[in-house]
Amino acid sequence: MECHVETENMPLRDAQLIIDKIENIGKKYGISHINVQLETERCENKEIVYKEN
């Protein structure tokens, strides 16, 4: 799976926590290989596929 995630500007250690959460969600659905690209203010289309409450 490959995904782009828009985040706030943050320290790398905090960004890694987001990647870890995404990978754990993927594992729940049997996805073993996940590529996550974090971005800040790059994407014009803000459609959300998954939002954690």
**Full pLDDT tens readout for the chain, 53 residues:** 898 888 888 999 999 999 999 999 999 999 989 999 998 876 666 676 666 66
Q: Looking at the domain assignment, is residue 10 inside a domain?
A: yes
pLDDT at residue 3 in the model: 87
Q: Looking at the domain assignment, is residue 53 inside a domain?
A: no
Q: Looking at the domain assignment, is residue 23 inside a domain?
A: yes
Contacts 24+ apart (CB under 8 A), 6-12: 6/38, 6/39, 6/40, 6/41, 6/42, 6/43, 6/46, 7/38, 7/39, 7/40, 8/40, 9/40
Q: Looking at the domain assignment, is residue 12 inside a domain?
A: yes
Around Cβ 42, how many Cβ atoms within 10 Å?
9
Looking at the 3D structure of the chain, how many domains does it have? 1
pLDDT at residue 25 in the model: 93
Q: Looking at the domain assignment, is residue 24 inside a domain?
A: yes
Q: Looking at the domain assignment, is residue 52 inside a domain?
A: no
Range of the domain at 7: 2-39
pLDDT at residue 18 in the model: 94
pTM > 0.85: no
Q: Looking at the domain assignment, is residue 45 inside a domain?
A: no
